[in-house]
Amino acid sequence: MLLQNTLKIGLPPDQLVPLLEDLERIAPCLPGASITERVDDKTYKGRVTVKVGPVTVRYDGVMTVLEVDRGARRLVMRGEGRDPQGAGTASATITMSVAEDPQGGSIGTIESDVAITGRVAQFGRGLMQDVADRLLTQFASCLQQTLGAAPEGTDSGPAPATAAPTSPPKAVGALSLVLGVLWQRLRRLLGGS
Give me the number of domains the chain comprises: 1
Per-residue confidence of the chain (193 residues) as pLDDT tens digits?
888 888 888 888 988 888 888 888 888 888 888 999 999 989 999 998 866 545 567 889 999 999 999 999 999 999 999 999 888 888 889 999 999 999 999 999 989 888 888 877 776 667 667 767 777 778 878 877 766 644 443 333 333 333 333 344 444 444 444 445 555 555 555 555 5
> Which range marks the domain in which residue 57 is found?
2-189
The pLDDT value recorded for residue 147 is 65
Q: What is the DSSP string of the chain?
A: -EEEEEEEESS-HHHHHHHHH-HHHHGGGSTTEEEEEEEETTEEEEEEEEEETTEEEEEEEEEEEEEEETTTTEEEEEEEEE-TTSS-EEEEEEEEEEEE-TTSSEEEEEEEEEEE-SGGGGS-HHHHHHHHHHHHHHHHHHHHHHTTPPPTT--S-PPPP-PPP-SPPPPEEHHHHHHHHHHHHHHHHTT--
> Domain with 82 in it: what CATH number?
3.30.530.20
